[in-house]
Chains A and B, each alone.
Chain A
Amino acid sequence: QQQVKQSPQSLIVQKGGISIINCAYENTAFDYFPWYQQFPGKGPALLIAIRPDVSEKKEGRFTISFNKSAKQFSLHIMDSQPGDSATYFCAASYYGNKLVFGAGTILRVKS
């Protein structure tokens, strides 16, 4: 019940295209859903996050879509750029406790 399942494992997108990464969770107690971006040799960096009372949140080229009834959320990267090439992790937590992470998606944006 603590798992967060993430797909796809890897993704190749053309420059200017839309990258879409999906996550699903089981624990309905989760109340915070962040996305992290990680470059090789670096720690995860918080990209964008959403609470379950909102269905969508947009920050620049990054959008989270949240479907509470389906227990799914996704990250959309618009106008993907080569500099977006990284590993992306979805995560979930409740009441500020530990983050439960997905397995990660390796994104490569081809120029």
Chain B
Amino acid sequence: GAGVSQTPSNKVTEKGKYVELRCDPISGHTALYWYRQSLGQGPEFLIYFQGTGAADDSGLPNDRFFAVRPEGSVSTLKIQRTERGDSAVYLCASRPGPSYNEQFFGPGTRLTVL
């Protein structure tokens, strides 16, 4: 079956601009996670949705970052007033449901802020 998909695969923007990154989880998966991976490092947690609500947003670095999942499926990560330090690969993962631990990752969106 189809895995987690993320669009766009690459995004180049200028400092100060607004960007949106999209994640389509595996069909039927109720939990969705966003992580950020800087070059040469492990992924770092940003936010976790169970259904439509954010169950844990403790990893969002500041109020320029926001994420939504209005219908409990697709999620959008929104970054306002982008900074060069926001450049990274943004990864999305989904998990089947409460009885499962496994998280399945998408290919990521490489964000470059010039």
Binding site for B on A (CB under 8 A): 6, 32, 34, 36, 41-46, 49, 89, 91, 93, 96-104
Encode contact with A along B38-56: 1 for CB under 8 Å, 0 otherwise. Answer: 0011111100100000011
A44 in contact with B43 (CB, 8 Å) = yes
What are the 10 closest A-B residue pairs judged by CB atoms, nearest first? A101-B42, A43-B105, A98-B45, A32-B101, A43-B107, A44-B105, A43-B108, A89-B42, A104-B42, A101-B43
B106 in contact with A43 (CB, 8 Å) = yes
Q: How close is A9's CB to chain B, nearest CB, in angstroms?
A: 9
Binding site for A on B (CB under 8 A): 4, 31, 33, 35, 40-45, 48, 55-56, 59, 91, 93, 95, 98, 100-108
Task: List, in ascending order, chain A residues with CB within 8 A of B103's CB.
Answer: 34, 46, 99
Question: 20 other contacts beyond A96-B101, A101-B43, with CB at 8 A cut-off?
Answer: A32-B101, A34-B103, A36-B105, A41-B107, A43-B4, A43-B106, A44-B105, A46-B102, A46-B105, A49-B102, A89-B43, A96-B31, A96-B100, A97-B48, A97-B55, A99-B93, A99-B103, A103-B42, A104-B41, A104-B42
